[in-house]
A = this chain, B = another copy of it.
Amino acid sequence: MFECFVNYLKLFKNIPQGDIDIIEEELEHRKVTEDEILLNEGQVCKEMFFVCKGVLRIVALNEKGSKMAYFFLKENQFCSILNSFNNNIPAIEGIEAACDGELIVLKKQKLLILYEKLPYLKELITAITTQSLLDKIQVRNSYLGEDASTRYRNFLIRQPEIALRVSLGDIASYLGITQQSLSRIRKNIR
């Protein structure tokens, strides 16, 4: 049930079986279906998800009021709205399932218990999520300097598995262009 999560952590640090038992005590498992909403914009985010299977998307409303995908998270990635989670403030973004999948749910209360019992876990998870922030920011910055066609080609290189599993509309909003533009770009690439 929780192997994928534990196995992922073990990639970074050897964790004794006793600790694993403690960790699994506080985890929850959840199946999600496409377009299921895991967190609404405006709510305080009190959970951190770990994707075992499928793809999650972080979404927000843009200036014109339409939903835009900020990020896609796939297997072995954490997904939360950290600004909300850390500071107990309403989230500006929401979390949705981009396709059917399975998650590990880390409730904030339970995670804090784990951090008390196993302080190294806090360091580890913080390091992982911080690193993923740095990766995300690097990608988003580079997109701003590219035209739509280049953005799409780089998206295919950077996240080929995502490209196959989420809708064209999702990808277009993620790249900051319209569906029609993306469809046109796809045609030109063929």
Binding site for B on A (CB under 8 A): 60, 62-64, 68, 70, 82-83, 86-87, 92, 126, 130-131, 133-138, 140-146, 150, 154, 173, 175-176
Contact = CB atoms under 8 A, between A and B. Distances in A.
Given A137-B137, A144-B144, 10 more contacts: A60-B142, A62-B142, A62-B146, A70-B141, A83-B131, A83-B138, A86-B131, A126-B126, A130-B130, A133-B133
A154 B62 CA distance: 12
A63 B146 contact: yes
- List the 6 shortest-distance A-B pairs measured between CB atoms, nearest first: A62-B145, A144-B176, A68-B145, A70-B141, A83-B134, A140-B140
A144 B150 contact: no
Contact of A141 (B60, B82, B142): B60
Contacts of A134: 82-83, 133
A144 B143 contact: yes
Contacts of A145: 62-64, 68, 173, 176
Contacts of A140: 137, 140-141, 144
A182 to B, nearest CB: 14
Contacts of A137: 133, 136-137, 140
A103 to B, nearest CB: 22
15 contacts: A63-B142, A63-B145, A63-B146, A63-B150, A64-B145, A70-B141, A82-B130, A83-B131, A83-B138, A86-B131, A126-B126, A130-B130, A133-B137, A143-B144, A144-B144
A62 B133 CA distance: 20
Contacts of A86: 130-131
Nearest to A136: B137
A189 to B, nearest CB: 16
